[in-house]
Chain A
Amino acid sequence: MSPHLFDIAHMLAGGLVLLSLAMLYQDRMFGLLNVFALHAIVLSASVAWQGHIQGAPHLYITAIIALVLKAIIIPLALRRIVVRLGIHRTIETVVGVGPTMLAGMGLVALSMVVMLRATQTADPLAREDLAFALSVVLLGLLMMVTRRNAVSQIIGFMSLENGLILAATGAKGMPLVVEISIAFSVLVAFIVIGVFLFRIRERFDSVDVSALDAFRGERR
């Protein structure tokens, strides 16, 4: 493989990790949505590039699904929800930005250490891809943990799924069944979440998950 092919794949995957970190410190809903859309665009480029260097045209389908659904439709829909619910001002976080970023960097380091050690026999591109993918997955989890607001939790979950798609396309020759199913499941997941969000809004006038938490546990 010529070095620049590798470098571009490397750069795109690294870009995803960078954008995941950028999502962690967004304190406005619209800012977060924009970064997420960019995340999806970079993912789509990365998947398309993998399709190019692996000579696997079916990956272009995955790239197009990621681009259309995650970079355009979902951010637009979420923007409407945010406006309708009037929660575009700020995002309430559980932990401050500083500690969250430190934890994020720790997670990236952790995934590098774990994955690079575990994949010594695999080819170099797949190795780096998996390490980056694990970082994106863990950063997505971190975001879900540190945000109280339901919409930003959804975005955290979808960035986590982006990491999974990065891993699946990095694994050369992985059957298409799985890739389409991932994209499909995101769609289903989104519909489900959307339904829930509207119901939650109707019932509680809040999408703040901590408002729900007040009812957790036993009914007394």
Chain B
Amino acid sequence: MTLSALNVPIDALTAVLLIPAAAALLLALLPGYWLSARLNVLASLATFLASLSLFYERPAPTPYLFVDDLNIVFIVLSTFVAFTTSAFSASYIGHEIETGRLTPRYLRFYHAMYQTLMFAMNLGLTANNIGLMWVAVELATLTTVLMVGIYRTHEALEAAWKYFILGSVGIALALFGTILVYMAARPVLGEGQDAMVWTALIAKAGGFAPELLNVAFVFLMLGYGTKVGLAPLHAWLPDAHAEGPTPISAVLSGLLLNVALYALLRFKMLLAANPNAIAPGPLMVTMGLVSLIFAGFMLYRRRDIKRMFAYSSIEHMGLIAFAFGMGGPLANFAGLLHMTLHSLTKSAIFFAVGHIAQVKGTQRIAEIRGLTESHPLLGWGLVIGVVAIAGLPPLGLFMSEFLIVSSTFARAPLLALLVVLGLLIAFGALMLRLSELAFGKPTGSTAPVEASYIPLYAHLALVACAGIYLPGPLVAWFQAVARLLG
């Protein structure tokens, strides 16, 4: 087994990891930001294409890396959003350079970190070793801490510090959980490498000591749950979203939360495979519901536009955790669909918000009015995005939310009522703010904006399509993954 790991050929999987790593090195050395921004897009596109080729040619699992039906969904989604975000970022940073908020030196650092983050996330998603997965999530956390603090303002440093402290504590608890899983696996799989390899763990999970697995899952839930942004461990998330550059907000919401969720799902599967361990579902259901309802109420008090959408991310991650916690083919299917569509929609919203904040020179909701009049393309993009995220038909998120509610209603009607309540609360808040932002008499600068509309509308088109028609192969694929999740 170790031999096959040492002698890895250059296949699609290696490319998915190697391209961002090489690009990060190159971008760290290149001085000009114009060229770097384009290289960043190119590298992200290449990674996305490499990840697509994983559909056709799937490499055999090694003790360190593997690809299966579950993680390929996450990989393709995350490389796609990373690609579109890099395109958005190229136009976003041009403006930041003009206004002097970022200097070329910081941008060099920014681009190198962007690719490092992509590398860390892809590594976390493809890791077959639970220790390696932990290292990757830690690397992703450290990179984003540096990116959040990049503006060096008072608020940015505070946000980065808070994110760093809470993120490290979360990551530390997750490591303790990982060690406990190893301890549980050791008597069955023997000492050393094998007892940390995911494919070996899941095959033999039935024989592990259930008490140890239970304790381990509590730590993993708290640890990776912090990174998912589940209440009450969410405190870092709104600050980190609001104070960093907007492309990073899009990547945080659209991708990094998913990576942590993926780690959690892997361990949930491990527990589900052991008949004597506690059911992991109720824990996830509780934390998910609390996040959903709490974030719904918090949405009403937001004055900062990026913080508002950060709370909306907490709400949706709560809903997704709830769906996976409920389990069963239908709820898992709905959870996967919701996760995919949320990533696309939320990053699209952040693309719009990024340009809006730049042209208006403020993130305060009270100072942004009448966007559909002053900047029709941006304004309507934001309207469509918010309508989608609020869960209105005919957009895709309506369908996934409907599936989550209806599958819950059949099994636990009271819980379904709570979910509906949470969704309605959030819906009210979003509509209230949207009407202020988008309609009425425009305030502030009405100068034309050089925005990148393509990533924004490409995401929205995908979300709208998903609401009307889901391609058959995609449905079949998600159903297979949903069964895998148990």
Given A177-B132, A200-B161, A215-B155, verify A164-B304 contact (CB < 8 Å). no
For B191, the chain A residues whose CB sits under 8 A away are: 172-173
Residue of A nearest to B212 (CB): A118
Which chain B residues in 253-287 approach chain A with CB under 8 Å? none
B183 with A126: CB separation less than 8 A: yes
For B164, the chain A residues whose CB sits under 8 A away are: 192-193, 196
How many Å from the CB of A103 to the closest CB on chain B? 17
How many Å from the CB of A209 to the closest CB on chain B? 7
| A215→B214 CA distance, assembly (Å) | 39
With a 10 A CB-CB cut-off, give which of B131, B142, B179, B187 has the most chain A CB atoms.
B179
A155 on the interface (CB 8 Å rule)?
A: no
Chain A, residues 155-190, CB within 8 Å of chain B (1/0): the string is 001001101100110011111011001100100110
With a 10 A CB-CB cut-off, give which of A115, A144, A153, A218 has the most chain B CB atoms.
A218
B304 with A218: CB separation less than 8 A: yes
A80 on the interface (CB 8 Å rule)?
A: no
Given A153-B165, A157-B169, verify A181-B304 contact (CB < 8 Å). no
How many Å from the CB of B178 to the closest CB on chain A? 8
A122 on the interface (CB 8 Å rule)?
A: yes
Residue of B nearest to A197 (CB): B161
A181 with B135: CB separation less than 8 A: yes
Partner of B211 from the list A120, A137, A153, A161 (CB cut-off 8 Å) is A120
B161 with A216: CB separation less than 8 A: no
For A193, the chain B residues whose CB sits under 8 A away are: 164
B161 with A212: CB separation less than 8 A: yes
Partner of A175 from the list B149, B160, B162, B192 (CB cut-off 8 Å) is B192
With a 10 A CB-CB cut-off, give which of A115, A126, A163, A177 has the most chain B CB atoms.
A177
Which chain B residues in 144-198 approach chain A with CB under 8 Å? 145-146, 149, 152, 154-155, 157-158, 160-162, 164-165, 168-169, 172-173, 175-176, 178-180, 182-183, 186-187, 190-193, 195-196
B364 on the interface (CB 8 Å rule)?
A: yes
B154 with A164: CB separation less than 8 A: no
B302 on the interface (CB 8 Å rule)?
A: yes
A141 on the interface (CB 8 Å rule)?
A: yes
| A133→B176 CA distance, assembly (Å) | 9
A174 with B179: CB separation less than 8 A: yes
A121 on the interface (CB 8 Å rule)?
A: yes
- Name B's interface SS: helix
Please tell me the size bucket of the interface on B: 35 or more
A119 on the interface (CB 8 Å rule)?
A: yes
B131 with A181: CB separation less than 8 A: yes
B145 with A160: CB separation less than 8 A: no
Partner of A168 from the list B157, B165, B179 (CB cut-off 8 Å) is B179
| A141→B226 CA distance, assembly (Å) | 15
- Name A's interface SS: helix
| A175→B196 CA distance, assembly (Å) | 8
Q: How many residues does chain A have at the interface if contact means C-beta atoms less than 8 Å apart?
A: 50
A73 on the interface (CB 8 Å rule)?
A: no
A45 on the interface (CB 8 Å rule)?
A: no
B161 with A218: CB separation less than 8 A: no
| A193→B165 CA distance, assembly (Å) | 9
Residue of B nearest to A189 (CB): B168
| A209→B161 CA distance, assembly (Å) | 9
Residue of A nearest to B209 (CB): A121
For A114, the chain B residues whose CB sits under 8 A away are: 215
A134 on the interface (CB 8 Å rule)?
A: yes
A117 on the interface (CB 8 Å rule)?
A: yes
B212 with A203: CB separation less than 8 A: no
A164 with B186: CB separation less than 8 A: no
Give 14 A-B contacts (CB < 8 Å), ordered by A residue. Answer: A119-B209, A120-B211, A122-B183, A144-B169, A157-B165, A157-B168, A160-B172, A163-B176, A171-B182, A178-B196, A199-B157, A200-B157, A212-B162, A215-B155
10 smallest CB-CB distances across A and B, nearest first, come from A173-B191, A178-B131, A118-B211, A212-B158, A118-B215, A218-B303, A181-B135, A121-B209, A167-B179, A173-B192
New contact pairs (15) apart from A171-B179, A177-B132, CB-CB < 8 Å:
A115-B215, A117-B211, A118-B211, A118-B214, A144-B165, A157-B168, A171-B182, A173-B186, A178-B134, A192-B142, A192-B145, A192-B164, A200-B161, A216-B158, A218-B307
